[in-house]
Amino acid sequence: MSAEEMRVKIFADGADLNVISRLAVNPWIKGFTTNPTLMLKAGVNDYAGFARKALQIVPDRPISFEVFSDDFDEMEQQALAIASWGSNVFVKVPVTNTRGDFSGQLIRRLTKANVQVNITAVLTAEQVACVADCLVSDTASLVSVFAGRIADTGRDPLPIIVRSIELLQSFPRSELIWASPRELLNVVQADQVGCHIITATPDILAKLSLIGKDLTEYSLDTVKMFRQDAVAAGYRIDTKRRAASA
């Protein structure tokens, strides 16, 4: 299988405008996501300004921006403002606030107001079920299950992903995102189980061309790399001294 043959949609994850601009011309990239942590790491200090520049680069594919209040009423106002920035905007809403209170009523109000949401920081199938109860079938929505973080705890995320896909089947305009992947294999796994979308950082995206690569050829490439790097470093072992001492 090659990257072109996969059905899963790949969304680029990041907050570097230069990288977003470069990836926007890649036909494999079907959307973009970001979050406050990525924006902080990228040195973004003007939230709305960054978002508007990103939307100039990406005017025609889904792109997600996240609310950051911890109060549901204020989250709603932020969400309405963010949604107004473009018709391709999805508003990221955390599945709970920092006190662990479920965001269900907010999700209901936003989807009833035709705001496209991306419910984020989801880690359990139970959370997906609760979110599904709050969705409106006529409004496009995304549910981001952080499979990478699930795997970080020593658990296999695949059963949770599969169950989450089942829970969203009755919502034709809702799609499941495999979020926070840790390796290229996750892209293949997401495709195999029928996950709609997977996010990917530039490091993972750079490996897409390796999908389906012949392993014997890849082995030879690896041997050549080790040899070229040793030569480039100028490494030497004095084998004559060993022979003389023997």
Q: What is the pLDDT of residue 244?
A: 61
Instruction: Give the tokens for residue 180.
Output: 């926070």
3-209, which class in CATH?
Answer: alpha beta
pLDDT tens sequence across 177-189: 999 999 999 999 9
> Whole-number mean pLDDT of the chain?
95
Instruction: Give the mean pLDDT of 65-84.
Output: 98
Tokens 């790097």 belong to which residue?
Answer: 229
Q: What is the pLDDT of residue 240?
A: 78
Measured CA distances, 187 to 67, 93, 114, 190 (Å) = 27, 24, 30, 5
pTM: 0.92
Q: What is the pLDDT of residue 6?
A: 86
Do residues 165 and 193 touch, judged by C-beta distance below 8 A?
yes
| Extents of the domains making up the chain | 3-209
**CA separation for the pair 89, 80 (Å, rounded):** 11
pLDDT tens sequence across 216-244: 999 999 999 999 999 999 999 988 776 66
pLDDT tens sequence across 190-206: 999 999 999 999 999 99
In DSSP notation, the chain reads --GGG--SEEEEE---HHHHHHHTT-TTEEEEE--HHHHHHTT---HHHHHHHHHHH-SSS-EEEE---SSHHHHHHHHHHHHTT-TTEEEEEESB-TT--B-HHHHHHHHHTT--EEEEEE-SHHHHHHHHTT--TTS-EEEEEEHHHHHHTT--SHHHHHHHHHHTTT-TTEEEEEES--STHHHHHHHHTT-SEEEE-HHHHTTGGGTT--HHHHHHHHHHHHHHHHHHHT----HHHHHHH-
> Is the pLDDT confidence value at 114 over 80?
yes
